């Protein structure tokens, strides 16, 4: 079928601001939006710039706004979005070119969460693994799925308002460790997250949860972090 694709274009070396360009391509309804982008880049306009790698929703490269909502281009099929598609870059991050945004602030926020295991206690005497029950493991399973695509953070109205907000993706990273029974850094992370630019900026708008291509219950995880600050309970 014929698909009409309207794409946001911005070439920093020529344009003062972005504009839209419309392309018509032949595509199958089971094609990914990414396939359509590749086709346009391959045959119509090679200068179209976007990131991609894995092509099946596990690397987090190609988050973008498709028909007004954040998606991974490689995990969105034509049959899900119809024959008229508008593709725009993520909101709230600088557009570097076409659909490519500057991801550095996003990763900087991630790094503020001390996103690594903190545990200075001695290892088990037998030198083997630290024990963890399947239930304890399940406690933070959700948040380990994050591929850092930024679809959530760039859909959050609080992040649009100010990029000082750490954003849902960073909170998910913190959640991953706070509720890991082997980790001992929960306190430090909670202190960071209790700052004005931390979880206080989340007003449960749920855009993040709806945008997440990994179906992580982000708002719930943020809620759990908020409650942990109040009760101190980490289980």
* Cβ contacts of 52-57, under 8 Å, gap ≥ 24: 57/147, 57/213, 57/214
Report the first-to-last Cα separation within the chain, whole angstroms.
52
The whole-angstrom distance between residue 160's C-alpha and the CA centroid of its chain comes to 14
Question: Which residues 167-206 are close enough to bind ligand SF4 by CB under 6 A?
Answer: 168-169, 172
The binder of 132, among other proteins, ligand SF4, ligand FES, none, by C-beta within 5 to 8 A per type, is other proteins
The binder of 169, among ligand SF4, ligand F3S, ligand FES, none, by C-beta within 5 to 8 A per type, is ligand SF4
Return the sign of the alpha-carbon dihedral for residues 119, 217, 147, 150: negative
Q: Specify the 3-state DSSP secondary structure of 176.
A: helix
Q: Pairing between strand 84-88 and 2-9?
A: parallel
Question: What tokens does 43 get?
Answer: 């045959």
Q: Specify the 3-state DSSP secondary structure of 151.
A: coil
| Residue 80 interacting with ligand FES (CB under 6 A) | no
Instruction: Kindly tell me which residue out of 6, 21, 59, 83 binds other proteins, with binding defined by CB under 8 A.
Output: 59
Q: Which is nearer to ligand FES, 56 or 111 (CB)?
A: 56
Task: Report the candidate in 80, 228, 53, 31 with the shortest Cα–Cα distance to residue 148.
Answer: 53
Instruction: Kindly tell me which residue out of 29, 79, 204, 227 binds ligand HEM, with binding defined by CB under 6 A.
Output: 204
| Residue 100 interacting with other proteins (CB under 8 A) | yes
Task: Report the candidate in 55, 110, 66 with the shortest Cα–Cα distance to residue 88.
Answer: 66
The least CB distance from residue 134 to ligand FES, in Å, is 29
Which helix (DSSP H) or strand (DSSP E) does residue 207 occupy? helix 207-211
Question: Which residues 125-164 are close enough to bind ligand SF4 by CB under 6 A?
Answer: 146-152
In a 13 Å sphere around the CA of 94, the CA atoms on its Cβ side amount to 7
The binder of 86, among ligand F3S, ligand SF4, other proteins, none, by C-beta within 5 to 8 A per type, is none
The least CB distance from residue 39 to ligand FES, in Å, is 15
* Residue located via tokens 């790698």: 53
The binder of 203, among ligand F3S, ligand SF4, ligand FES, none, by C-beta within 5 to 8 A per type, is ligand F3S
Where does this chain bind ligand F3S (CB under 6 A)? 155-156, 158, 168, 202-208, 218-219, 222
Residues lying near ligand HEM in the complex (CB under 6 A) are found at 203-204
Residues lying near ligand SF4 in the complex (CB under 6 A) are found at 146-152, 168-169, 172, 211-214, 216, 218
């Amino acid at each position: 079928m014929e698909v009409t694709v309207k794409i946001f274009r911005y070439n920093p070396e020529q344009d003062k601001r972005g504009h839209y360009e419309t392309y018509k391509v032949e595509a199958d309804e089971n094609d990914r939006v990414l396939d359509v982008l590749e086709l346009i880049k391959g045959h119509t306009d090679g200068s179209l710039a976007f990131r991609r790698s894995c092509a099946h929703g596990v690397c987090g490269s190609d988050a973008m706004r498709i028909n007004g909502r954040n998606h991974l281009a490689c995990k969105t099929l034509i049959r899900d979005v119809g024959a008229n598609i508008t593709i725009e870059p993520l909101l709230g991050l600088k557009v570097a070119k076409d659909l490519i945004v500057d991801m550095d602030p996003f990763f900087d926020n991630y790094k503020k969460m001390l996103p690594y295991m903190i545990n200075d206690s001695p290892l088990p005497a037998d030198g083997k693994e630290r024990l963890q029950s399947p239930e304890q493991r399940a406690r933070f399973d959700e948040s380990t799925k994050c591929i850092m695509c930024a679809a959530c953070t760039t859909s959050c109205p609080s992040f649009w308002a100010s990029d000082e907000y750490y954003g849902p993706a960073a909170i998910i990273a913190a959640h991953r460790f706070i509720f890991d029974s082997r980790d001992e850094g929960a306190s430090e992370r909670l202190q960071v997250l209790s700052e004005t630019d931390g979880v206080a900026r989340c007003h449960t708008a749920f855009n993040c949860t709806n945008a997440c291509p990994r179906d992580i219950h982000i708002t719930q995880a943020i809620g759990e972090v908020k409650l942990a600050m109040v009760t101190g309970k980490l289980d």
